[in-house]
Amino acid sequence: MKHFPIFLAMEGQKLVLSGGGDAALAKLRLLLKTEARIEVFTADPAPEIVTWAGEDRLNLTARALQPGDVAGAVLFYAADEDAREDARTSAIARAEGALVNIVDNLADSQFITPAIVDRDPVTVAIGTEGAAPVLARAIKRDLEERLPVTLGALTRIGKRFRRAAEGLPFGRKRRDFWADYYFTTGPRALAEDGPQGAEEALNTLLDTHLNAAPRAGHVALVGAGPGDPELLTLKARRALDEADVIIHDRLIAPEILELARREATLIDVGKEGFGPSTDQTRIAALMIRHARTGAQIVRLKSGDPAIYGRLDEELTALDAAGVGWSIIPGLTAASAAAASIGQSLTQRGRNSSLRILTGHDTKGFAEQDWAALARPGTAAAIYMAKRGARFLQGRLLMHGASPQTPVTIVENASRADQTVLQSCLATLAADLDRAEMSGPAILLYGLAPRAALAEIPQVPEAAHGP
């Protein structure tokens, strides 16, 4: 992030702009929305600038900027549309302590002006660090359509009520009140009875929340999917947004944790196959302790919590402690991995069933029906299989599986750093050793990438005589 977004307090502040043409007009249309004292210097002002000066919306000095003109200003815009003049005026502004923006000159500017969605006092700023203005405008257009024009009025009413709302305890109880106002009660009252109705509704709503019983703690056991944040379910995203505490595994992608509220407490419990991890008893104790404070907790697991996620153990502990819970399924790694190689996990005429195994539990791994798994056409998704690959290879070959049976290993399925290793049973262990995969990987037994299937020569059918 080369530009850090902030909202600068502009009420009563001096803001200076040099220029009087189209570039100056574009900036001034935006700057006039602020409560700054705007000073414009130009020998050739556009008619609109003259009109705004006549309306006392800005102060116009009909000459070029000179030393001393920017003193005391917080921001300066160089908008003369002439590189030499912009360099001259911006040098003056820097010397006199203002932050400088040179229109259409990102390299020499100290700040940039974002695209803005204005629902005053709600303001959404969109920046691309000058790389893609057309993208910023597209995002602005989308937000303009989605944010109702009444949002500003609703927010102004709420802002006047903030001191009264401080009677609610800070944290969850106060957030619940404001969520109720902005998303349910407020919009309905504003639509039915106007601003006065919305203000009256706030008083009633505050009494309701002040007298409401404390909200019980709750644990949502959420599947984070294989890693791509766009594969999260809508329900999972809503749970992350509402959570007070998020207890997550090591394999959760940082991009997914970014979706949590900034105020949420994030607790890394470091679960990973064959590596260091937090004891399951301690994880249960963490959930129970936070739930008893009334917190809304997300226990965030990679993939789907019901597939090798030790879900039952955690539910048993929560039940024993009397803590309420819910399960939000996630996309499991097998589905994401199969999609990444253009394959289906089941196929008519090939396999009507799918085996899901884990290589983490080597004792359980050894108890599989290897003869059935070795039959032609069998497909299996094997989680945490890197360490058990040699054992898998030996058992299957011993039970008659073809050495040429395709095996595909997908590391970091669905993520930007996903890698796909195409192998076969005969060379599986050696191929994995050479690949030196360090990320989470799933092994798809009996499946090859679709592109590889197209390269396999087809054997023509035998000709039949009369």
Positions marked active-site? 249, 271
The 8-class DSSP code of residue 270 comes to -
Contacts of 82 (CB under 8 A, 6+ apart): none
- How far is the C-alpha of 285 from the C-alpha of 17, rounded, in Å? 60
- CB count in 10 Å sphere of residue 311: 17
- Nearest Cα residue to 50 out of 79, 75, 42: 42
How many whole angstroms separate alpha carbon 453 and alpha carbon 187?
A: 56
Instruction: Please say whether the beta carbons of 248 and 259 come within 8 A.
Output: no
- C-alpha of 283 from chain center: 25
- Side-chain-side CA neighbours of residue 307 (13 Å): 23
Beta bridge partners of 14: 37, 73
Asked if 284 contacts 336 with a C-beta cutoff of 8 angstroms, the reply is no
Tally of CB atoms within 10 A around 14: 18
User: Residue 422, CB half-sphere, CA atoms under 13 Å: how many?
Assistant: 9
User: What are the tokens at 155?
Assistant: 């927010």
CA separation for the pair 167, 202 (Å, rounded): 13
On whether the CB atoms of residues 360 and 333 are closer than 8 A, the answer is no
Phi, psi torsion values for 440, nearest 5 degrees: -65, 135
Backbone angles phi, psi at 111, to 5 degrees: -150, 165
